[in-house]
Amino acid sequence: MSSFFVAGGNLAPDAPCYVLRQADDALLATLQAREFSYVLDTRQVGKSSLMVRAAAQLRRDKVRVAILDLTGIGQNVSPEQWYSGLLAQLGAALGLEDALEDFADDHPQLGPAQRFFGAIREVALPAASAPLALFVDEIDAVRSLPFPTDEFFAGVRAFYNRRADDGELKRLTICLLGSATPDSLVRDARVTPFNIGQRIVPTDFTLLEARPLAEGFGDGGMHAIERILYWTDGHPYLTQRLCQAVAEVGHCDNGSVDRAVARLFFHESAREEETNLSFVQRRVLEGGEDVTALLELYRRARRKEIQEEPGSPLGAILKLSGIVRSVRGQLRVRNRIYARVFDETWINRSIPDGERRRQRAAFLRGLLPTATVAVAGLVATGFLTVRSLHSEQETTRSLDAIQRREQQWKAALEALANERANHSSADAALRQLAEDRLRSTQEENTELRKRLGISPETDLRLR
């Protein structure tokens, strides 16, 4: 029954494993009301499948539908080529290839963006009296283009604002989908972020919503779904992928689910080989200039749910990576799989080397000079004190104080070594530095004993 489940890619509108969520109803209602909308979230949470299902229902409702996939146009293109690619996809979807091409040829004086939006208004909309729904998928692809696409979003905003005065535009609705934040789509900081229309959030599956997936297992299916959601917390891709693996084994008990989780996600190379884990890791580690601050924020969210700060760029990157989500204003790790895979060891190993060296240097600047000054000061004090003593008892007390300080110094260095024991070869050099420092201190104390004329018997008795 593993073929029942589909992990990765778009689900067909009639796929038996499709899980209906609140987002399905919200998006369809928004489109039927001719409202503009956007579905911007992390990858592999069902955005495109949500779009395909809504588009199928709109077609049944006699709405004309065009889906523009920005990844199909390419990246090494000029503005002219990019907008021509959009126009070609629009023409193919609506059967208006020649009419749209003729409009572009008849208006060479217009810029590429003006021709594209002009063609929608003057050709695509008047071609039929039925409403037109335009989906623009993989909208985050604009961030990789060699030119700014602010004009595209300005054109969408202009359509949105003009609907009050233009009857034709009231028959048009546009929905943008992709893995981005509204403010990241517009490059010019002086331009208002793209946030018009209704935001649709594709939430993770609840246990009630995921009940149809139990059919893929037969008897005991609901028990398997409960255990699967224990690990995935309803993440769409992880849930479907784990359902596939468990169905292949043919057993629905907790042990079978747990072993499938370990086999898929917990082996050493899973972060590089498993597509979803690879995306999450790459998005976090390449998500911004201050990777250390990003990882420290994730560390805090992992240890304890923390208050989400509205407008925080770091919080936005973490949510867009999918590693955390917002729950009642709190940031929390999205599921138990992520919590196990992206653990404290991964955080420590992922902190950039320069930052780790800076942290170690700061630690040493605070510990080593303090301990060195304390030992050196005590050695000098002990030397002057012992010279003035005339009895073995007083000499013994002074030397005992020196040795206690020496033991404290050793303990501090051992604690430092233990604290850093799990780090890289750079930390091995740090431990070597600590050992050399301790050896030097011990040699100074030995030399002091010789100058003071303390006998080996007295030293041995004191030890």
Express each pLDDT in 162-172 by its tens digit: 998 999 999 99
Instruction: Give this prediction's pTM.
Output: 0.76
- Helical (H) or strand (E) element with 137: strand 132-137
Place of tokens 């020649």: 98
Q: What angle do CA 142, 143, 144 make, to 5 degrees?
A: 90
The mean per-residue pLDDT over the stretch 98-110 comes to 96
Mean pLDDT of the chain: 84
Reference 335, options 269, 275, 268, 261; nearest CA is 261
- Residue 39 has which token pair? 């579905």
How do residues 341-371 score in pLDDT, each as one tens digit? 999 999 999 998 755 555 565 656 665 555 4
pLDDT at 314: 93
Q: Which residue has the tokens 């297992």?
A: 217
pLDDT digits (tens, 9 = 90+) for 363-382: 566 655 554 544 444 444 44
The number of angstroms, rounded, from the C-alpha of 302 to the middle of its chain's C-alpha atoms is 13
With 50 as the cut, is the pLDDT of residue 386 above it?
no
Residues 6+ apart with CB under 8 A from 365: none
DSSP 204: P
Q: Across residues 136-151, what is the average pLDDT? A: 94
Q: Indicate if the pLDDT at residue 294 is higher than 60.
A: yes
Q: Is 257 helix (H, G, I), strand (E, B) or coil?
A: helix
Parallel, antiparallel or unpaired: strands 132-137 and 172-178: parallel
**Which CATH number is 22-199 given?**
3.40.50.300
